[in-house]
Chain A
Amino acid sequence: MARKSTLIQKDKHPSTQSSEPLINVSDVVKSFKTAGEDFFALNGITFNVYPGEFLGIIGKSGAGKTTLVNMITGVDHLTSGQVSVNTNNRKVSIHHFNEDQLALWRGQNMGVVYQSFQLLPMLSLLENIMLPMDLCGNYSPSQSREKAYELLRMVELEDHAKKLPKFISGGQQQRVSIARALANDPPIIIADEPTGSLDSITADHVFGVFETLKNQGRTILMVTHDKSLSPRFTRTLVIQDGELAHDSQTEAM
């Protein structure tokens, strides 16, 4: 795979859903060494994500969904292929970043939500949301506080702002986790099984939050094993044995 000469490229044309993809996943391979043959968790996956899409990545347990999310968020390394992201008129090949560059870039451009919420237990809800703003330095302390309250209001948890995560329910924690993902106002939200550990009513409520965000124009990429959610996405990809088995957009075309 040829390396690009620069990590960040200025896009000559502003991205649009029809022309410029926001995320370009190109021939991504991820394999693990084993005692016998190499194990391919992802085997040549290629697709684009366009601005404003609410993309569902669906697959059974072990299909490679989370590995794919790790490749897109840059938390794990590729074996081969490329993931480039075009945000704020800048196109970057994220796997060419070092860890620090990637952390900062991710903090500013990508909000990540996990099934297990991943909130820091020692910080209050408000502080958890302020943390990305503090680390990325985009806001002053008073601005970040104001913004954190605003986000808590959005997820209807303003009254619980000073509580520690362990004192609220799972569904509420997940809403805080979504609010945190939005802290630096990133254009992309990536969620890995965000409703996986919630009961159906709470899961529906949380899913509703994502739909609201989609309606506000955010690009959302969500991993789920629940096929029944397919109709609620604007587009779905089905991953099977590390390969892209189905893309609803291609089928529609």
Chain B
Amino acid sequence: MMRPRWRKVFHDLINNLSRTLLVVFSIAVGVFSIGVIVGAYVIISNDMSQSYSSNHPANVELRTGPFDDSLVSTIQNVRGVNDAEGRTVLSLRARIKGTENWQTLNIIAIEDYSDININLLNIDEGTNQPNNKEAVIERKVLQDMQVKVGQTLELQLENGTIKELPVVGIVQDASTAAGDFIANPFVYITVNTLPYLNEEPLFNRLYVTLAENENDNTHLQTMLTVIRDKTEQSGVSVFHSRFAKTNEHPMASTVQAILGILLALGILILFLSSSLIANTLNALLNQHLRYIGIMKLVGASRNQVLQMYMVLILSFCLIALGIAVPLGGQGAYGLAAFIADQINFALMGYRIVPLALIVQIVVGLAVPLMAGFIPVLNGSKISVVRALSDNQMLEENKPEQVEIKKETFVEKISLRFTKLLSKRNIHIPRPLLISFRNTFRRKGRLILTLFTLTMAGAIFIAVFNVRVTLFDYLDGIADYFMADVTLDFDQPYRVKDITNRVMAIPGVADIEGWAYASAEAINLDESLAENITILAPPSDSTMVTPNLIAGRWLIPGDEKALALSEQIYEDFPDLQPGDKIRIKIYGKKEEWTVVGIFKFVPQEGTFAYGTYEYISKITHQNNRSFSYRIMLENHDKKNQKAMGVVIDDYFQNAGYNVDQVRTGDSTLKSASESLDILITFLLIMAILTAIVGSMGLTGTMGMNVLERTREIGVMRSIGAVDRAIMQTVIIEGMAIGGISWLMGAILSVPITYLLSDIVSLAVFESPIQVIFTTTGFLIWFLVVLILSALASLFPARNAASLTIREVLAYE
């Protein structure tokens, strides 16, 4: 048989289920958050690199002119090379047979799927080895095109004819273009299918893995130079080259930085939940003082009381762990799977993360025990007379009744304020006055509740500010892409011709033909420093508004001049406007002048602008262009999309080889989508803090009502109806909510700066200008008031349901 003292602990656990649930959920929320984040952090840190490296990612990738197997054999024989493979990548428009929506896809042709050793394809469905005139799609295709295995893709060739390829499989390619959000989704075919698509069966990509030191940047750089030189010596032009480590996913540092932010918020939630636990346990001990007194009266020592309540807390912990650990494990894997899906890598399967488990157990036991220790210690120290002092035992000479207490500061202010108002004939209704005065009665409890709600509010508001800050920054980046529609052709057309045709379409305001070039920045030792993508608008372009951080923008007459994105600082940290930079462009090594440096989102390679006049000259495309930027009279997204279709149809029908038509924001769509993911996570954390905060308020209001049972009885006996009692409690809760909103609004300012800096450093690698929005403040104001009202509703209903008889029975 259980001993009476442990029986009491057991009863304390189950008799007041709402209190037990409040404490258990307070603990569980913190433990769950930490478990999810630590678990996801460990899974992603491990699986991201492992999955990436297990796919044998290319260490060196060259984008080249056409070549055949002989170059592949040459490179395979280079010392230090493990393997080399040639592939063909071409961009075509595709749609599901029987549908209308075209999507631009990158078609990758591989010679022998049974012998792939680089950038392996993992099967999601069907096969990863298409036969001739069959297609296997990469899973990212599914984001924009709901194609299924067994359906047929229609590909539109340059001459406008349409060819069909049945889809025989869905794969995941975690290596090709890893971390490149802007790349089109991939479709895999055999090289022998290329003639069917009117393409020569030649390669234009070379992928190489190294035999050793494949995670050493210096070695990778050296090997890249060797391979590139060998390729060029074979008479094949190299347009773009890059190297990558085997054991590090290109997105690893960004993802870990984001998880780091989430971890910080998780710790904060834990911290808040611990204050909630302390608050609830404080109240529990207050409610149990009489019982402690009785136990001490019949022989309990302080240690015995301490033990009993610590065991009670331990029981709360164990229940909370029982809920939070399995959920945390699932949540961790869910979060990891979500991130893996977004970044496109495979997880190594569901598992319990020992570190996350240990952290959850330690945190789930240590935090509540520490948070509860002081209240329990104080409770156990109470003397019998104090513990029983609310009872008739001392009613003859209760010290509290005899001693005259001084007014507190808050009471003084409140009384003076009321007097002031009444002098001016303004009378606050008494129930309202009771609500406001009640708010400040339990100061310790109020401080803990306010702390939790304030932090929750500050984070909530800050997340909205950070969201606006990030999107404002992206909007700034969009100034580089101001065109509403981008029209790309498969071959260059005369600018004048295209301009005349486009300007004749109603709703078009302006058009510019842009040039494009790839170049490589070269170090003094001739090694590759950085790939440079050069966009070349006309020098008097109205479709770029650069955000310059040094130097000037391009002007008419600029030749061999570049404006570079700030990413160039990674390779040339001392670069100044006016400096010369060595670049290799169209096979020639030249010195170009850097006229300015502008702000831009980091991406693979450096973005640069040159003038159309000069770039088109060196590319022998004078007065002609592949790519046109079109400005519409109406810039809204719907119109952009509609006009995109109109322009596409117009040029298709006129017999032009249209490669693709993109609406203005499509370039930034992927970037903003990934930011949306981050913001969603931040919001989830903010909502979790809000839940902890409102749970704290519910607990506080519940305790306040319980402690004021007698007062409520008195109010009832002098005529207070249900509504008046409920109003008193709800207004008190809303007053706490209101105060917390004010404090949270103030605190959100430094938190916004802190969070913006951390996020922008993780995502954009540089701090960005913070923007504040009223949205977060207003939403939180409404949320906190609604939460406060709801949190008070249950205790208020309890209060209103008390009868005078019950109030007397309470004693």
Contact = CB atoms under 8 A, between A and B. Distances in A.
Contacts of B295: 120, 131, 135
B384 interface: yes
B44 to A, nearest CB: 47
A115 B395 CA distance: 12
Interface string B1-38: 10111011001100100000000000000000000000
B7 A116 contact: no
B63 interface: no
Nearest to A145: B1
Interface stretch (B225-233, B299-307, B566-574, B698-706): B299-307
A141 B303 contact: no
Contacts of A112: 297-298
Interface stretch (B396-404, B575-583, B688-696): B396-404
A180 interface: yes
A132 B298 contact: yes
A136 B3 CA distance: 12
A2 to B, nearest CB: 24
Contact of A32 (B4, B296, B384, B403): B403
Contacts of B396: 41, 61-67
Contact of A131 (B5, B383, B402): B5
Contacts of B381: 99
Contact of B300 (A62, A127, A135, A196): A135
A122 B5 CA distance: 11
Contacts of B300: 103, 107, 135
Interface in A42-75: 61-67, 70, 73, 75
A75 B295 CA distance: 12
A173 to B, nearest CB: 13
A119 B233 CA distance: 98
A104 interface: yes
A183 B385 CA distance: 22
A66 B402 contact: no
Nearest to B291: A120
B397 A32 contact: yes
A76 B385 contact: yes
Contacts of B297: 73, 75, 103, 106, 112, 118
A35 interface: yes
A150 B300 CA distance: 23
A76 B293 CA distance: 12
A155 interface: no
B393 interface: yes
A104 B301 contact: yes
Given A106-B298, A114-B393, 14 more contacts: A39-B402, A41-B397, A66-B397, A70-B394, A103-B384, A107-B298, A115-B392, A116-B391, A120-B291, A120-B295, A130-B3, A132-B299, A134-B3, A135-B295
Contacts of B147: none
Interface of B: 1, 3-5, 7-8, 11-12, 15, 290-291, 293-304, 381, 383-385, 388, 391-397, 399, 402-404, 811
A67 B402 CA distance: 14
A103 B385 contact: no
Given A39-B402, A123-B7, A67 B299 contact: no
A43 B796 CA distance: 47
Contacts of B302: 99-100, 103
A100 B403 contact: no
A34 B394 contact: no
15 contacts: A33-B402, A34-B402, A34-B403, A39-B402, A67-B396, A70-B385, A100-B301, A103-B297, A103-B299, A104-B299, A104-B301, A118-B297, A123-B11, A130-B3, A136-B299
A128 interface: yes
Contacts of B402: 32-34, 39
Contacts of B384: 73, 75-76, 103
A243 interface: no
A131 B4 contact: yes
Contacts, number: 129
Contacts of B394: 66-67, 70
A63 B303 CA distance: 36
B1 to A, nearest CB: 6
A116 B392 contact: yes
Contacts of A67: 394, 396-397
A148 B12 CA distance: 22
Given A66-B396, A67-B397, A128-B4, A135 B304 contact: yes
Given A64-B397, A114-B393, A141-B3, A131 B298 contact: yes
A39 B7 CA distance: 43
A122 B8 contact: yes
A99 B301 CA distance: 8
Nearest to B10: A122
B399 A116 contact: no
Nearest to A115: B392
Given A106-B297, A134-B5, A32 B393 contact: no
Nearest to B395: A66
B299 A192 contact: no
A120 B303 contact: no
A184 interface: yes
A127 B11 CA distance: 12
Nearest to B16: A122
Interface string A123-155: 100011011101110000100010000000000
A24 interface: no
A108 interface: yes
Q: Which 6 A-B pairs have the closest CB atoms?
A: A107-B299, A122-B11, A75-B384, A35-B404, A132-B298, A76-B385
B298 A135 contact: yes
B779 to A, nearest CB: 43
A170 to B, nearest CB: 11
A75 B404 CA distance: 23
B404 A141 contact: no
A112 B394 CA distance: 15
A136 B5 CA distance: 11
Residue of B4, B11, B12 contacting most chain A CB atoms (<10 Å): B4
Contacts of A73: 297, 384
Interface in A11-34: 32-34
Contacts of B294: 118-120
A127 B7 contact: yes
Contacts of B293: 118
Contacts of B811: 116
A168 B301 CA distance: 29
B397 A34 contact: no
Nearest to B404: A35
